[in-house]
C-alpha cells in the first residue's frame, strides 16, 4: 500500500515537472517503483522485465531522444479545465465501478477458477518446466507470444525505416526546401 | 576519447557479468524467473553500456550493424519454424511434443528453442533501436 | 463501516485508476510530445497493474512450482503483461522516432507551434 501511494506521488511530480530531463528521470524512478510493486504482487518475471525495460532501456532511449530535441516544455504549467474535468469524471466513474470488483487477494475470486489451476497442476506433468510463467508463455499460449514477437519485429523495422533513411531536411527546419 | 578512467575500468569489470547474467536468465528461465524477453533486454543493455562508455565504434565491433539487423527477423523466423516443424510432423502449429521421442521432453525442448528465438529478436531490436537513435544525433 | 472496508479492499484499484487518469490528463492536456509519450507510458503501466492485481492471492507465492508450497498466484496475467511490457517499449520507441522526425521537419515538438507553422505555410 505504501508503495502504491509512493507511485501516485511520483506521478503527480511527473505532471508538475517542466524540464523533460527531470520527467525522464522521474519516469525511471516510477518504473522501478512499479517493479517493486510487481514483486510484492508475486509477479517476479514481470518485475524483472519492468526493471530492465522500464527503468533501463526505455530511459536510455528517452534520453537519446532528448539529445536530439529541446529539453524544456515551452508552455507555462496552467491547469486546463476541460482535460481535468474529463479525467476526474472518468476516474470517478471507474472507481465507482471498481468497488463491485471482487476484493483483493481472495483465493475464491473468479479469476482463479478458470484455466489457471490447469496450468499450475499440469505444467510439470506435461512439459517438465517448474516455472509456470515460462511454460504458459512459450507452450500453452505460444501463439500469443509469436504474435507479440512479430509486433516487436515490426516496431523495430518501423524505427529503422524512420530514423536510418536519408536526412532530407535541416535539423531545425531552416533549410526545409533543400531536398 | 577522454572519458572518465574509473567509469571505464568499472564498466570493464561489470560487462562480462552482465552478459553472464543474461545467459543465466535465458537458460535458467525454466526453473526460476526469467526467459527470452528479459535476457534479450539485459544482453542489449550490455551493448548499450559499451556504447555509452567506450563510444559507438567499439560497440559496433561487438555487435556489428549487419548482425543486429539480421537478428531482428531471425528470431521471429526461429520461432515460426519451430511451429512449422510441429506442423510438418503431423501435429498442430506450435505443438512441440513431436520434437523428441518423449512428448514431455519434446515440449521442454520446444520451449527452449522458442525462448532462444524471442531472445534473438528482442536483443536485436533493442540494440538496433539504440543505434538508430544515437546515429541520428551525429 | 462496511464502506470503509470496501474501500480498503479496493485501495489498489483506486490507485491504479488514479495513475490511469494521470496518464490520460498528461496525454490530453500537455502539448509537448515527449511528455505525451511519458503520459502514455504511465497509462500503459497502470493497465499492467490492473492486470496483475487480481492475480495475487494473499499468502500465496510466485508461480514457480516447488513441493514446499501449496498456493500460487495466478500465472496467466503475468504472461500477458510480460510480453506487453516489451511490446510497450518497442512501440514507445516508434513514437519517439516519429517525434525526432517531426522535430527535424518543424524544429519543435510543441503541438501549438506545429499547428501555427502549418497555418502559416
CATH (one of 3.40.50.300, 2.40.128.20, 1.10.287.3510, 3.30.479.10) for C2-120: 1.10.287.3510
Question: Can you state the angle between helices B5-27 and B36-54, rounded to 10 degrees?
Answer: 170
Q: Which of B44-58, B119-133, C104-118 has the lowest mean pLDDT?
A: C104-118
Cross-chain residue pair C15–A8, CB shorter than 8 Å: yes
> Helix and strand tally (H, E) in chain B?
5, 0
Cross-chain residue pair B30–A131, CB shorter than 8 Å: yes
Q: How far is A132 from chain C (nearest CA, A)?
A: 6
Cross-chain residue pair A132–C90, CB shorter than 8 Å: no
User: Residue A111 has what pLDDT?
Assistant: 82
A35 located within any domain: yes
- Per the structure, the complete domain to which residue A129 belongs is given by 110-164
A105 located within any domain: no
* CA angle, B12 then B15 then B20, to 5°: 145
Q: How far is C4 from chain B (nearest CA, A)?
A: 37
Which of B45, B76, B130 is closest, CB to CB, to A153? B76
Averaged pLDDT score across all residues of chain B: 87
Per-residue pLDDT of chain A (179 residues; tens, 9 = 90+): 677 788 888 888 888 777 888 889 999 999 999 999 988 888 888 999 999 988 889 999 999 888 888 767 666 556 678 888 888 999 999 988 888 888 887 888 888 888 888 888 887 887 778 888 888 888 888 888 899 999 999 999 999 988 887 655 444 444 444 33
A179 located within any domain: no
Residues on chain C touching A68 (C-beta within 8 angstroms): 100, 103
Q: How far is B93 from chain A (nearest CA, A)?
A: 9
Q: To the nearest 5 percent, what fractions of chain A are helix, strand and coil?
A: 70, 0, 30
A61 located within any domain: yes
B136 touches chain C (CB under 8 A): yes
Closest chain C CA to residue B126: C90
Q: Which of B57-66, B69-78, B120-129, C2-11 has the lowest mean pLDDT?
A: C2-11
User: Residue A175 has what pLDDT?
Assistant: 44
Averaged pLDDT score across all residues of chain C: 87
Is the pLDDT at B34 greater than 70? The verdict is: yes
Residues on chain B touching C98 (C-beta within 8 angstroms): none
User: Residue A93 has what pLDDT?
Assistant: 93
Q: Any idea of the CA torsion for B40, B42, B45, B50, to the nearest 10 degrees?
A: -100
Q: How far is C94 from chain B (nearest CA, A)?
A: 9
Q: What is the DSSP letter of A106?
A: -
Which of A64, A129, A150 is closest, CB to CB, to B133? A64
Span C31-62, pLDDT tens digits: 888 889 999 999 999 999 999 888 888 888 88
List all residues of chain A from 36 to 75 with a beta carbon under 8 Å from chain C.
37-38, 41-46, 49-50, 53-54, 57-58, 61-62, 65-66, 68-70, 73-75
Residue A132 φ/ψ, nearest 5 degrees: -65, -35
Q: Any idea of the CA torsion for A144, A149, A155, A156, to the nearest 10 degrees?
A: 180
User: Residue A168 has what pLDDT?
Assistant: 53
Cross-chain residue pair B35–C82, CB shorter than 8 Å: yes
Chain center to CA of A6: 17
Percent of chain B clearing pLDDT 70 (strictly above):
97
Cell of C79: 504472461
A64 touches chain B (CB under 8 A): yes
Angstrom distance (rounded) from CA C109 to CA A70: 8
User: Residue B18 has what pLDDT?
Assistant: 92
B125 touches chain C (CB under 8 A): yes
Span C107-121, pLDDT tens digits: 888 888 888 888 887
B122 touches chain C (CB under 8 A): yes
User: Residue A177 has what pLDDT?
Assistant: 41
Q: Does A2 share its domain with A67?
A: yes
Q: How far is A89 from chain C (nearest CA, A)?
A: 10
Query: Half-sphere exposure of B17 toward its Cβ, with a 13 Å CA cutoff?
Result: 5
Q: Does A11 share its domain with A64?
A: yes
Q: How many CB pairs under 8 A join B and C?
A: 22
Amino acid at each position: 500500500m505504501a508503495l502504491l501511494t509512493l507511485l501516485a506521488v511520483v506521478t503527480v511530480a511527473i505532471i508538475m515537472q517542466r524540464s523533460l530531463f527531470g520527467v525522464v528521470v522521474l519516469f525511471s524512478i516510477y518504473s522501478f517503483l512499479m517493479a517493486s510493486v510487481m514483486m510484492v504482487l508475486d509477479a517476479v518475471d514481470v518485475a524483472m522485465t519492468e526493471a530492465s525495460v522500464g527503468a533501463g532501456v526505455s530511459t536510455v532511449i528517452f534520453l537519446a531522444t532528448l539529445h536530439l530535441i529541446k529539453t524544456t516544455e515551452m508552455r507555462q504549467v496552467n491547469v486546463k479545465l476541460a482535460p481535468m474535468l474529463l479525467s476526474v469524471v472518468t476516474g470517478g466513474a471507474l472507481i465507482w465501478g471498481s468497488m463491485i470488483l471482487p476484493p483483493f487477494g481472495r483465493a475464491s475470486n473468479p479469476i482463479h477458477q478458470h484455466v489457471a489451476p490447469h496450468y499450475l497442476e499440469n505444467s510439470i506433468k506435461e512439459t517438465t518446466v517448474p516455472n509456470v510463467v515460462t511454460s504458459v508463455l512459450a507452450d500453452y499460449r505460444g501463439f500469443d507470444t509469436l504474435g507479440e514477437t512479430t509486433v516487436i519485429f515490426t516496431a523495430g523495422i518501423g524505427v529503422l525505416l524512420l530514423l536510418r533513411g536519408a536526412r532530407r531536411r535541416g535539423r531545425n527546419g531552416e533549410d526545409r526546401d533543400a531536398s | 576519447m577522454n572519458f572518465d578512467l574509473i567509469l571505464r575500468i568499472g564498466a570493464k569489470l561489470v560487462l562480462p557479468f552482465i552478459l553472464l547474467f543474461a545467459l543465466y536468465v535465458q537458460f535458467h528461465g525454466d526453473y526460476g524467473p526469467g526467459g527470452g524477453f528479459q535476457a534479450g533486454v539485459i544482453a542489449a543493455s550490455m551493448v548499450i553500456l559499451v556504447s555509452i562508455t567506450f563510444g559507438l565504434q567499439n560497440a559496433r565491433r561487438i555487435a556489428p550493424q549487419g548482425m543486429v539487423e539480421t537478428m531482428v527477423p531471425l528470431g521471429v523466423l526461429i520461432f515460426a519454424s519451430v511451429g512449422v516443424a510441429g506442423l510438418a510432423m503431423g501435429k498442430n502449429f506450435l505443438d512441440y511434443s513431436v520434437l523428441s521421442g518423449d512428448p514431455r521432453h519434446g515440449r521442454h525442448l520446444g520451449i527452449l528453442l522458442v525462448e532462444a528465438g524471442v531472445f534473438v529478436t528482442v536483443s536485436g531490436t533493442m540494440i538496433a533501436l539504440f543505434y538508430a537513435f544515437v546515429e541520428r544525433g551525429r | 463501516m462496511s464502506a470503509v472496508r470496501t474501500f480498503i479492499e479496493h485501495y489498489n484499484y483506486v490507485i491504479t485508476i488514479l495513475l490511469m487518469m494521470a496518464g490520460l490528463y498528461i496525454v490530453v492536456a500537455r502539448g509537448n510530445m515527449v511528455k505525451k509519450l511519458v503520459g502514455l507510458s504511465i497509462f500503459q503501466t497502470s493497465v499492467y497493474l490492473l492486470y496483475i492485481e487480481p492475480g495475487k492471492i494473499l499468502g500465496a507465492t510466485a508461480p514457480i512450482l516447488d513441493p514446499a508450497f501449496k498456493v500460487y498466484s495466478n500465472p496467466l496475467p503475468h504472461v500477458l503483461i510480460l510480453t506487453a511490457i516489451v511490446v510497450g517499449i518497442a512501440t514507445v520507441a516508434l513514437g519517439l522516432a516519429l517525434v525526432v522526425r517531426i522535430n527535424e521537419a518543424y524544429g519543435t515538438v510543441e503541438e501549438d507551434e506545429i499547428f501555427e507553422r502549418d497555418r502559416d505555410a
